[in-house]
Structure 1
Amino acid sequence: MAKQNGIVPLKGTIGNITFYKSKAGHLARGKGGVDGSRIANDAAFVRTRENGAEFGRAGKAGKLLRTAFRAMLLNASDSYLTSRLTRDMLKVIQADAKSVRGQRNVIDGEAELLSGFEFNINARLAGTLFAPYTAAIDRATGILKVDIPAFIPVNMVAAPGGATHFKILAAGAEIDFEAETFVNGNAASAELTIDATATAVMNLSVNVTANSTKPLFLVLGVEFYQQVNGALYSLKNGAFNALALVNISGMPAAPGGV
């Protein structure tokens, strides 16, 4: 892959060179590669097939997770979210110590490896909300919650220029990666002014299935607004909103520890 430096960028194919535009700029690459049928059948490419199967599984799992939190991601995500989440989901799959290569999966992997994942790399939760909080998951009751003591917004929230208000949001999801289904819920504070007035104590909780046997995910986020003539508008279309996975409970232990 090479960058185009000409005055007029090219698009299309000339000979064995393909010219195209990506987020990284105008690029050029040579045509070629191994025939698809050989990769699918040749014993020499068994590792390639195994890696491809697990990469595809990671992409599908990442899409399901994004769909479960879609309402939150509409206002807090970056353009590389899909590739970043697929990469980290692949690490979860590769942590599966039960299945053979090529058949490793999220269920038998370590979903907790996603803890701390930032959905908007341009506005990290860790660098946006400094107020202490407790994120807990209770499998028995199916309650996922975030508790935040009272805090002074101007001291504990790193607000972008132009922001006058903010909101704290939490969402939880119970995800069945095999059936490709989920149960989710969300909660949010009121729109709060970014000033020196202490907030009330916040207890944000959502409910999923009690005694679930599926992985559970809890996210926490901050949204910013600007007040204009008494109305609140999302600031910069959510470019500064933060959202991260703050607690994860993977598959529960089988009875008897088996």
Structure 2
Amino acid sequence: MAKYKSLFKVRGSIDDVSFYKTEDGYGIRSKSSLDKARLKSDPAFERTRENNNEFGNAATSGKILRRAIIDMVSNAKDNKLASRVTQVMSQVKNFDLTSPRGQRNAAVGILTPDGKIPLIGFNFNRRSSLSEVFQSDYSLSTATGEIVISNFIPTQKLIIPEGATHVEFTAGFLNLDLATQEKDMQISNVENLAINGISTTITLTPAAPAAGTGQSFYLLKVAFFQEINNLQYPLKNGAFNALQILNVL
């Protein structure tokens, strides 16, 4: 796709050309001659309609997941999260081997072992993935959702953003049924530590095991703060916060 970069910047349309701006810069595209009525009825576009329907299902599944973890993801996400989650759900959808073409969806794909793989390791903040800030081993109990980080030394086990004085850990245990949208989200205690050379063991225990007939999601969040006059403030509005899906069962 052509990109336009100049001192003269245009937004909107001129004749059959549209000018637009994204975070990557300015772009130009020509208007399509295809109208909606033809797209909905013309047999030549049957496959396009099928693809659009499956894409819509993936977007809905992504929205369900994002809403289910809103209490954890609100300050640990990037501005392209919705599209990235939709892309992952499209991959999950590909493992639906029973539904007709055009009706494949993530709710069926995730029931398979391979269908869970695209979600494992997913980072909700592409600017700060978990592996980029957190360097420690941990243990995860899939029965309770408890995460234990033993012998954790902040100055050795973190990639510390400039200005950070404290770090905060939270675990999440989610049971989510994409088909029925039923969910149970259990969040652990929050452990806030000064970033220093003192070794400690962190135990994050969700309030209860997440219950339901859906899939189990296990999450870990790392958030950074800056202390000024005995008050802690989110570091750069959470730009360096990381939230990852550790496992899906």
Q: TM-score, normalised by structure 2?
A: 0.92
Please, which runs of 5 or more residues in structure 1 have no aligned partner? Answer: 250-258
Query: How far apart in 2 are the matches of 1:7 and 1:148?
Result: 52
- Residue in structure 1 matched with residue 127 of structure 2 by the alignment: 122
Which residue does 2:224 correspond to in 1? 224
Structure 1 segments of 4+ aligned residues over 3 angstroms from their partners:
none
Match of 2:197 in 1: 196
Q: Residue deviations 1:197-244, cap 9 Å, x none?
A: 01234143343554x321121110100011101111110000001110
Asked whether the equivalents of residues 138 and 148 of structure 2 are also in contact (C-alpha less than 8 Å), the reply is yes
SS across alignment from 1:65: helix
CA contact (8 A) 2:61 2:107 kept: no
Provide the rounded CA distance (Å) in 2 between the counterparts of 1:172 and 1:187: 8
How many Å apart are 1:101 and its aligned residue? 1.4
Paired residue secondary structure (2:151):
coil
- Paired residue for 2:165? 164
Q: 1:173–1:182: 8 Å Cα contact kept in structure 2?
A: yes
SS in structure 2 opposite 1:144?
A: coil
**RMSD across aligned C-alpha pairs, in angstroms?**
1.6
Structure 2 Cα separation of the partners of residues 72 and 237 of structure 1: 14
Aligned pair in 2 of structure 1 residues 103, 61: CA closer, same or farther (>3 Å)? same
Q: Hey, what's the Cα distance between the residues in 2 that align with 1:156 and 1:189?
A: 18
Aligned length: 244
| 1:105-126 residue CA offsets vs partner (Å, 9 max, x unmatched) | 2222113420000111111101
1:179, distance to aligned residue in structure 2 (A): 2.4
- How far, CA to CA, are the matches of 1:241 and 1:74 in structure 2? 10
User: Structure 1: how far apart are the matches of 2:224 and 2:152?
Assistant: 17
Residues in 2 aligned to 1:95 and 1:34: alpha-carbon distance in whole angstroms: 31
Q: Which residue of 1 aligns with 2:179?
A: 178
Is contact 1:171–1:186 with CA below 8 Å preserved after alignment? Answer: yes
Unaligned runs of 5+ in 2: 110-114
Correspondence for 2:54: 54
> Paired residue for 1:136?
141
Q: Which residue does the alignment assign to 1:40?
A: 40
CA contact (8 A) 2:54 2:103 kept: yes
Q: Is the 8 A contact 1:187 1:206 kept in 2?
A: yes
Moved more, 125-134 or 4-13: 4-13
Determine if the alignment matches structure 1 residue 14 to structure 2 residue 19: no
- In 2: Cα distance, 1:70 partner to 1:55 partner: 22
Q: Is the 8 A contact 1:145 1:205 kept in 2?
A: yes
Q: Which residue identity lines up with residue 173 of structure 2 in the other structure?
A: G
